Amino acid sequence: MAQWIKACNIDDLQPDSGVCALVAGRQVAIFYMPKESTVYALSNYDPFGKANVLSRGLIGDIKGQPVVASPLYKQHFNLQTGVCLEDESVKIPAYAIRIENGSVQVSIPE
Amino acid sequence: MSKEQTLVVIGNGMVGQNFLASLVESPAKDDYKIVTFCEEPRAAYDRVHLSAFFTGKSAEDLSLVEPGFFEQHGITLHIGDKAAKIDRHSKTVTSQNGVTIRYDKLVLATGSYPFVPPVPGHDRMNCLVYRTIEDLEAMAAAAKTGKVGVVVGGGLLGLEAAKALKDLGLQTHVVEFAPRLMAVQLDEAGGSMLRRKIEDLGVTVHTGKNTSVITDGEHCVNKMCFVDGEELETDIVLFSAGIRPRDDIARDCGLDVGPRGGIVINNQCLTSDPDIYAIGECALWNGMIYGLVAPGYAMARTVVADLTGNEASFTGADMSTKLKLMGVDVASIGDAHAKTQGALVYTYQNGASEVYKRLVVSQDKKQLLGAVLVGDASGYGTLLQYCLNGIELPENPDALILPPRSDESVGLGPDALPMSAQICSCYDVTKGAVCQAIEAGCTTIGALKSETKASTGCGGCAALLKSVLNSELAKQGFEVNTDICEHFPFTRQDLFNLIRVEEIKTFDVLLERHGKGRGCEICKPAVGSILASYWNDYVLKTEHLGLQDTNDTFLANMQKDGTYSVVPRITGGEISPDMLIALGQVGKKYKLYTKITGGQRVDLFGARVDQLPHIWKELIDAGFESGHAYGKSLRTVKSCVGSTWCRYGVDDSVGLAIELENRYKGLRSPHKIKFAVSGCTRECAEAQGKDVGVIATETGWNLYVCGNGGMKPRHADLFATGLDKATLIKYIDRFLSFYVRTADRLQRTAVWMENMEGGLDYLKSVVIDDKLGLCEQLEQQMQHVIDTYHCEWLTTIEDESKLKRFRHFVNSDQPDDNVVFIEERGQIRPADEEERKHFKMVEVA
């Protein structure tokens, strides 16, 4: 069973934007939508641009799906599943995430 | 195929140049080495719009030759050298300067010369013709000391010449031998309506006048004496009594010429020698000389097709014309004089509004044969299509010229046109070609123009083109959706107006009131940009931060490996040695890759996100400020060194560039904006390739707008001339504010203007004549941005809370281990994928 690992505090998050945290050696992009009290966690690595940049992408929704757009070549990734909207064969790791007493915690599979 | 054959073109006028431009686009270009002779001291220019020379256009503006055209296509141009002799036996052309070229194929495009009636005294001082730029210069020189000018000839060109005399500030007369103006195109009633309108403009018209002699004047340089005993004193006599083909060179080498001149050609435009073609006004086809440019272009296309081995023939051309003569709309279509057997005529005359219209229809009232329009030529497009395509007329043809009685529309919808209908006569674009381009994805006027060239010549077909586009899109079930994205059912311009009128200051409020969902990477930066353009708030304020593209969020330009580049502002490209050293020291300390940009600045690459504030702290301490290279905003104002140092400089281009850059720096806009200022017409700053270009002249600053380089370079348009600095700045303020208000997202000024109904003229009317009554607002809008300028980097490094974001990990000081640099030519560059596997990270800083 994967464990919840603390990534950062809620104050470290950027409202309606993303940050990157180093969690168990992995680069995790964490996105925060305060109006809906929602956080999402994806791998920070952009498989198209081959760089660790996804936390710096713009977030929003496309036809109801919450997405981040890569800042390099603008592909969209579903914030819940990590599936690329432009090419469904591409899926980046999506992590479970929760906020407990102001602590942002991510669950990284073994 | 190798270029073993030589093609020689004699004459580089409008038709000669059009031929070359079509030829280099065709496969035939690979078969021939091309040589052309141009007798004039400059390559082809626009003779049709010659009078624009007196309203501010320079010889360069009138040029029809794309810069670098001859070099790019390997065409040898013998400029200022007249082809003097053709030897058909040895197949050579010899020029006045003694150049001899052997040809395999020869094209004669020698054009025509103005006919000067052999009246005694026709060669006196200030008796001029109206054909070349040199002629115009002679007119301008003569006008300096003269007060009165007479044009001999009341045809198309004569009236155009009269406008030129008027623009030169002379009391202007037109003397016509025929009993009416434009005798070839207009009937008597149309001619007299035109005469009244032209006389209203202050030009005196004399018809039915036959000049007997020109002699010494008493108050003016010359005196014209007429056969009827009357006299007219004038300083300048301008002959515009028709043209004659220049066929000497053909005559001398034994080619067939017509009894009244003109080189005889067949349907392939071949002369009596199968290796020699003739095109344009020197050619005589079926007993006709065509004195218009469009038939000449059609001949040029025919020859290109023939050389390519395609079937093509020139079978005559429609001589219909529509033009604005001294502000008066005049049009003539087909058989205007009702010479066709059994033709019926309808006329409509409105003395009050000075409108005259005449329709000539076939006996059975089914076909339109011709038409004349004076004072209101709005029906020209529709009537021309009826005439050219033989479309059956409505039951009461007079409805086509009568003022609409109710709101019934008698215009010909685009659907009624056959696919073969010619939409653009300048570039011979058919409705079929337009529809094909639309189907292939050209869904805007701008895209259609660049794909098909339609409406890029005289622009007369713009409205028709637009109606074809709209009708085709509607037919394809294309709802023309101009919504910015799924979150807002508005265009960018709508959003701008909502923000302005409702004084909305945040994205959240706008979304709540007018949108849905959470937004996306389309609407967020667009709204962020509008808010920044209009309110000029700090873009990294918490409520704006999530709207910015990554470059704006980190105030730097993200590169392929996720590192950033840094560009401090160097206004006008002017930088002191000390500042340059400071810049170098920062680059060296942080081991940044350093490169000079096209905009006369320095770009420092390879900065990690955590290094950005440190780098900027040092740059700001050294006196630099943000260059906004990361934003859709004003980038640079490039300049040449100007009159301060340059031997040729006319004004201080660097000083003006710095002033302009400081004025507009920080302005957020729909797309990036680039400026340049040149200190003289040598144009070393390349201002005509910029959104806003300024060139110093003896009489003040010339302003150019809507140019750009990049993927689709566009030469800027001359917007205003001879401006003082205050007026120049006022125009630029208004121009930029209007652009910021009305452009689409990511639309550069060029495309914005091209898609604007009315184009450049409309833009001028808004910015110069204040047609919309907006100018004061536009100036205030700009003043607000100027007054609230702040260096975003200074604001950022002074705010601890903003600096928190400048680290790769929110919970660790480690850098991104995927960023690896390799050394190349003494500097760093990002490692490629293979190299990353083999090399260890090079420690930086």
Nearest CA in chain B to A28: B809
pLDDT at B411 exceeding the cut of 60:
no
**B810: nearest CB among A12, A16, A35:** A12
**Interface contact B558-A71, CB threshold 8 A:** yes
pLDDT of B449: 83
pLDDT at B45 exceeding the cut of 80:
yes
pLDDT at B270 exceeding the cut of 60:
yes
pLDDT band at B406 (very low <50, low <70, confident <90, very high): very low
Q: Read off the pLDDT of each residue in A76-85 and give the average, rounded to a whole number.
A: 95
Class of domain B554-621: alpha beta
pLDDT of B236: 94
pLDDT at B732 exceeding the cut of 50:
yes
Nearest CA in chain B to A18: B546
Which pair of structure tokens corresponds to residue B403? 């003022």
Find the Cα–Cα–Cα–Cα dihedral B61, B65, B66, B68, rounded to 10°.
-120
Q: Read off the pLDDT of each residue in B601-616 and give the average, rounded to a whole number.
A: 96
**Interface contact B811-A14, CB threshold 8 A:** no
| Residue showing tokens 């140049």 | B17
pLDDT of B458: 64
Give the residue range(s) of CATH 3.50.50.60 domains in chain B: 5-113+245-308, 127-241
**A22: nearest CB among B545, B558, B812:** B812
- Chain B CB within 8 Å of residue A72 CB: yes
**Interface contact A22-B809, CB threshold 8 A:** yes
pLDDT at B44 exceeding the cut of 50:
yes
Is B337 or B565 the better-scoring residue by pLDDT? B565
For residue A56, list chain B residues with Cβ-Cβ distance below 8 A. 550, 553-554, 558, 562
Question: Which of B807, B810, B832 is most worth mutating to test chain A (most A CB atoms within 10 A of its CB)?
Answer: B810
**Interface contact B808-A52, CB threshold 8 A:** yes
pLDDT tens figures, B170-197: 999 999 998 999 888 788 888 888 898 8
Nearest CA in chain B to A69: B521
Q: Read off the pLDDT of each residue in A34-58 and give the average, rounded to a whole number.
A: 94
Q: Please, which residues 3-62 of chain A have a Cβ atom closer than 8 Å to chain B?
A: 7-8, 12-17, 19-23, 27, 30, 33, 35, 45, 49-53, 56-62
Q: Read off the pLDDT of each residue in A43-49 and give the average, rounded to a whole number.
A: 95
Neighbouring residues of B475: CB distance < 8 A, sequence distance ≥ 6: none
**Interface contact A58-B808, CB threshold 8 A:** no
Question: Which of B518, B564, B841 is most worth mutating to test chain A (most A CB atoms within 10 A of its CB)?
Answer: B518
- Chain A CB within 8 Å of residue B256 CB: no
For residue B524, list chain A residues with Cβ-Cβ distance below 8 A. 58, 60
pLDDT band at B483 (very low <50, low <70, confident <90, very high): confident
Is B669 or B348 the better-scoring residue by pLDDT? B669
Q: Please, which residues 572-631 of chain B have a Cβ atom closer than 8 Å to chain A?
A: none
Any idea which fold B127-241 has?
FAD/NAD(P)-binding domain (3.50.50)
State the nearest Cα–Cα gap between A1 and chain B, in angstroms.
24
Q: What angle do CA B28, B34, B37 make, to 5 degrees?
A: 140
pLDDT of B845: 36
Q: Which of B732, B692, B695 is nearest to B716 (CA)?
A: B692
Q: Read off the pLDDT of each residue in B268-286 and give the average, rounded to a whole number.
A: 95
C-alpha span between B531 and B668 (Å, rounded): 9
Pairing status of strand B673-678 against strand B634-639: parallel
Give the residue range(s) of CATH 3.90.480.10 domains in chain B: 554-621
Class of domain B416-480: mainly alpha
pLDDT band at B413 (very low <50, low <70, confident <90, very high): low
Q: What architecture (CATH level 2) is domain B5-113+245-308? A: 3-Layer(bba) Sandwich (3.50)
pLDDT band at B459 (very low <50, low <70, confident <90, very high): low
**Interface contact A58-B542, CB threshold 8 A:** no
pLDDT at B457 exceeding the cut of 70:
no
Check: pTM over 0.80? Answer yes or no.
no
pLDDT at B574 exceeding the cut of 50:
yes
Q: Which of B86, B83, B64 is nearest to B13 (CA)?
A: B64
Report in angstroms the alpha-carbon separations of B544 from A56, A81, B541, B754. 15, 27, 5, 32
Report in angstroms the alpha-carbon separations of B723 from B238, B666, B675, B699, B732. 31, 25, 17, 8, 12
**Interface contact B546-A64, CB threshold 8 A:** no
| Residue showing tokens 């076939």 | B362
pLDDT band at B404 (very low <50, low <70, confident <90, very high): low
ipTM: 0.94
pLDDT at B143 exceeding the cut of 80:
yes
State the nearest Cα–Cα gap between B42 and chain A, in angstroms.
47
Nearest CA in chain A to B820: A51
Amino acid found at B19: F
**Interface contact A15-B546, CB threshold 8 A:** yes
**Interface contact B558-A53, CB threshold 8 A:** yes
Residue A42 region, left (φ>0) first, then alpha (ψ -120 to 50), else beta? beta
Give the least confident one: A89-98, B12-21, B420-429, B616-625.
Answer: B420-429
pLDDT tens figures, B489-522: 888 988 999 999 889 999 999 999 999 999 999 9
Contact between residue B761 and residue B769 where contact means Cβ atoms under 8 Å apart:
no
Is B762 or B677 the better-scoring residue by pLDDT? B677
The mean pLDDT value of chain B amounts to: 89
pLDDT band at B480 (very low <50, low <70, confident <90, very high): low
Task: With residue B752 as reference, give the H or E element that holds it.
Answer: helix B749-754
Which pair of structure tokens corresponds to residue B545? 């931060």
pLDDT band at A78 (very low <50, low <70, confident <90, very high): very high
C-alpha span between B460 and B422 (Å, rounded): 12
Whole-number percent of chain B with pLDDT over 70: 96
**B811: nearest CB among A8, A15, A33:** A8
Q: Read off the pLDDT of each residue in B527-543 and give the average, rounded to a whole number.
A: 93
For residue B517, list chain A residues with Cβ-Cβ distance below 8 A. 60-61, 64
Neighbouring residues of B97: CB distance < 8 A, sequence distance ≥ 6: B78, B81
Give the least confident one: A24-28, B183-187, B299-303, B716-720.
Answer: B183-187
**Interface contact B809-A27, CB threshold 8 A:** yes
Q: Read off the pLDDT of each residue in B606-626 and give the average, rounded to a whole number.
A: 96
Partners of residue B411 on adjacent β-strands: none
Question: Which of B811, B814, B817 is most worth mutating to test chain A (most A CB atoms within 10 A of its CB)?
Answer: B811
R_g of chain A, CA atoms, integer Å: 13
pLDDT of B843: 42
Report in angstroms the alpha-carbon separations of A79 from A64, B431, B808. 11, 47, 20
Q: Place domain B634-787 in its CATH homologous superfamily.
A: Sulfite Reductase Hemoprotein, domain 1 (3.30.413.10)
C-alpha span between B414 and B412 (Å, rounded): 6
pLDDT of B410: 45
C-alpha span between B453 and B448 (Å, rounded): 7
Q: Read off the pLDDT of each residue in B76-94 and give the average, rounded to a whole number.
A: 95
pLDDT tens figures, B196-235: 888 988 899 999 999 999 999 999 999 999 999 999 999 9
- Chain B CB within 8 Å of residue A87 CB: no
C-alpha span between B709 and B716 (Å, rounded): 10
pLDDT tens figures, B663-722: 999 999 999 999 999 999 999 999 999 999 999 999 999 999 999 988 778 899 999 999
pLDDT band at B841 (very low <50, low <70, confident <90, very high): very low
Partners of residue B694 on adjacent β-strands: B677, B703
Any idea which fold A4-102 has?
Rieske Iron-sulfur Protein (2.102.10)
Pairing status of strand B236-239 against strand B32-38: unpaired
**B550: nearest CB among A20, A30, A71:** A71
Find the Cα–Cα–Cα–Cα dihedral B167, B168, B174, B180, rounded to 10°.
-10
- Chain B CB within 8 Å of residue A85 CB: no
State the nearest Cα–Cα gap between B810 and chain A, in angstroms.
5
Give the residue range(s) of CATH 3.30.413.10 domains in chain B: 634-787
pLDDT of A3: 86
Pairing status of strand B368-374 against strand B422-424: unpaired
Is B412 or B4 the better-scoring residue by pLDDT? B4
